[in-house]
Amino acid sequence: MLFSSRRWNDIAGICMSLLFPAPFHLIRQGHLGHHMRNRSDDEAFDFYFDEDNKLWKHLVLYGILTGLYYVVVVLSNVVFLILPFRADKKLWHVDQASRAFMDSLNSRYSHAIRAESAAAIALHAGLVWLLGVPVTHYLAMYAGFGFMWSAMQYVHHFGTERHVTRGARNLWIWKPLDLLWLNHNWHLTHHTHPTIPWVHLPHTSVDDGGKRGFLIEAYLRMWRGPRRATERVKNEHAGKVIR
């Protein structure tokens, strides 16, 4: 939603995703799929059911909290370059969320994802080599970014209503940081009005109870870990491929 033109949005997205580094057409589908699966059984990282592996569910949530989720996304550059869209997708059936994610991916973007993965790997290897950047410095910088990015991925959803659009919350932190993050903390507003550009989110009306929680406090609450759940919330878009 950076530009009004879809073409320029895609170009800007590809360029910025190379710095992430991740394939733009992969994380774009992941984000759109998140809007379809939010708070359903296919994407409820703060819950586990009796048939789930309780240890695995804890590892997933704490991996998000500590930055390991970012490592997984970065490794997708290698994985999708080597094993792009296997027909049976059995290698991806680690858990319910992984299955839902893979089932929503559109194979028409497979070539773009492979090309972007190769470009990301080449760019970062080239930056380290040509600029003589010490590997430890490079890893330290991305470790800091990766932790912050990963920790932000579920903080706006933890413990919210299990509803695809209402299952989010608006949070607040230092205003300049909010602007740097493109008003990402207006997350309930974003899920309620997903087509509104980021510049308009703070001024868009949404019923959030009249209170924005504090981001750090919301993050710390997540360390309570996943809770046992009995309520089932079906993903109404299960199997739908991202366009």
> pLDDT digit string (tens) for 32-79?
999 999 999 999 999 999 988 899 999 999 999 999 999 999 999 998
pLDDT for the residue 114:
93
Residues linked to residue 69 through DSSP beta bridges, in sequence order: none
How many C-beta neighbours within 10 Å does residue 95 have?
A: 16
Task: Answer whether residue 1 is part of any domain.
Answer: no
Helix (H) or strand (E) holding 125: helix 110-130
pLDDT for the residue 93:
65
Task: Answer whether residue 98 is part of any domain.
Answer: yes
**pLDDT tens-digit series, residues 25-39:** 999 999 999 999 999
Number of domains in the chain: 1
Contact 72, 16 (CB under 8 A): no
pLDDT for the residue 140:
96
Task: Answer whether residue 95 is part of any domain.
Answer: yes
* Interatomic CA distance for residues 1 and 196, integer angstroms: 8
Task: Answer whether residue 106 is part of any domain.
Answer: yes
Range of the domain at 90: 6-228
pLDDT for the residue 91:
61
Q: By CB neighbour count within 10 A (0-12 exposed, 13-18 middle, 19+ buried), where does 130 fall? A: exposed
Helix (DSSP H) and strand (DSSP E) numbers for the chain: 10, 4
